[in-house]
Structure 1
Amino acid sequence: MNVQLSSQGPTHDEIDFEFLGNVTGEPYTLHTNVFTQGQGQREQQFRLWFDPTNDFHTYSILWNPKHIIFMVDDMPIRDFRNLEGKGIAFPKNQPMRLYSSLWNADDWATQGGRVKTDWSHAPFSASYRGFKADACVVTAAGRPHCGASVGTDVAPGTGAAGEWYNQELDLTRQQRMRWVQRNYMIYNYCTDPKRVAQGVPAECSM
């Protein structure tokens, strides 16, 4: 299952949450990725510390001009920072829409394609509740209106509804994120030997 923010076109931006298939009884894998100007391959994967099929959980993306922060039940698991000053592209100029889909990725998502989709369990379904978007909407005139201020002439980041616009992780939440990464991260593109052999991605050394 895939939940993503995405723009359109060959140079699209994209921010992904993906739930990968598993063998019955094994932990589920949460896959995250960031595309900028059509270029992805910034994957990090985590073993969830709960069974996501047993109850509803909250999956959040805080996306502002300085950070893309992935959270599970308000626990930060990843922070992709804006390092444009170092020559690293950051998705901030293309409006994105929210999409959700179920798709067959068993050629790579299930243990590298070793486990195929069992279609006898179809049709597959996903349920959502409590959706909340505190976001800027770009109007036809190209002007952003944010949060509870949608439809009014309020600049991004102003007022209580726009606090997320300048939000970042404090020290305590940074420590929580590092704890999750130490204990539950199972893949990081920054340390993949095959990719590192071709050169460590620039943002990984900062």
Structure 2
Amino acid sequence: MRSFLLVLFICSSIVAVSSRGPIYKPPPVERLTDRFVQQSVDKAFSNLYGNKNIHQLNNGSSVNIILDKSSGSGLISKNRYYYGFFSAAIKLPASFTSGVVVAFYLSNSDMYPHNHDEIDFELLGHEKRRDWVLQTNIYGNGSTKTGREEKFYLWFDPTIESHQYSILWNNHHTVFLVDNVPVREVVHNAAIASAYPSKPMSVYATIWDASEWATHGGKYAVNYKYAPFVASLGQIEMGGCIKQRADSTQSCVTGPSTLDPVEGQEFAKLSKQQTTGMDWARRKHMFYSYCKDTSRYKVLPAECNKA
């Protein structure tokens, strides 16, 4: 009996149960978020839209962004970055959230409307309570006709407490991380070179109504009976090379440089622990990848053959 109880205790410590069955805790990984300095929201961001739905908290160290029937809301970074590490701890709305999207992303569409770059975390509300979907996407130089989406179920309830969503972007690769666990790596190689983000970008955090497409292709619209929808953000990290002037063509140089905080060898490729963590996330929690979508692409994008 004692042996049975010990086994039961060990199993219960690593397994949780959700509507999709058992969810296992991720393997241990390095904490990249410990390497960069946190900034208060008011120092890092300016209001982008929906001012009345942006509520700063704790003397500006965190913020609530809100979607209601009148408006969504959003923030934009005060600086524009060329390469870097960008992270936010986000707590998602807990109500019935179909059609709601909370996004943390990099973009330069304001500067390059016809050939912009973008690196996206999009958290998609679901028709089931608290069952959010994580979508990642990346494109460069206006390559928006090729959607590079990958979708994941989370291994935790994102509405109970904040979790860290981080982007590492440099000349070697772009990595999406959740609570420091890599869930996706886009390696900068010849196959994707023309569509790899290559120009300085701003950092955005938004909440908005995406009823037309977000939940099963628009099947479930936002139900404002459950509004307001409130997302909380804090623990902001922006360890990037800041583009000094809007009219400047100068960018961070490649190679070791104090101007670029993510150029060192420790940021050039995933460690063994990180690779193990990413393999775990993709095997157990990814349920869609554009590289597997042969109904969408008769000929898969070139980088899919390098995976």
Structure 2: unaligned runs, 5 residues or longer: 1-101
Contact 1:6 1:99 in 2 (8 A): yes
Q: Give the secondary-structure state (helix, strand or coil) at the position aligned to 1:182.
A: helix
Q: Could you tell me which of 164, 174, 184 is aligned with 2:262?
A: 164
Q: Could you tell me which of 105, 118, 135 is aligned with 1:14?
A: 118
Structural mapping, 1:1-206, within 5 Å: 1-8=102-109, 9-25=113-129, 27-40=131-144, 41-83=147-189, 85-86=190-191, 88-140=193-245, 141-144=248-251, 157-159=256-258, 162-166=260-264, 167=267, 168-196=269-297, 198-206=298-306
Q: Give the secondary-structure state (helix, strand or coil) at the position aligned to 2:141.
A: coil
TM-score computed with the length of structure 2 as normaliser: 0.59
1:48 CA drift (Å): 0.5
Which has a greater percent of strand?
2
Q: Give the secondary-structure state (helix, strand or coil) at the position aligned to 2:119.
A: strand
- Measure the CA separation in 1 of the matches of 2:277 and 2:226: 37
CA-atom RMSD in angstroms: 2.1
Q: Which has the higher contact order (CA 8 A, sep 6+)?
A: 2
Q: Give the secondary-structure state (helix, strand or coil) at the position aligned to 1:165.
A: coil
- 4+ runs deviating over 6 angstroms: none
- Measure the CA separation in 2 of the matches of 1:91 and 1:7: 13
1:100 CA drift (Å): 1.6
How many residue pairs are counted as aligned between the two chains?
Answer: 195
Structure number, greater radius of gyration: 2
1:124 CA drift (Å): 2.1
- Measure the CA separation in 1 of the matches of 2:104 and 2:160: 19
1:186 CA drift (Å): 1.0
TM-score computed with the length of structure 1 as normaliser: 0.86
Residue range with higher mean Cα deviation, 105-114 or 174-183: 105-114
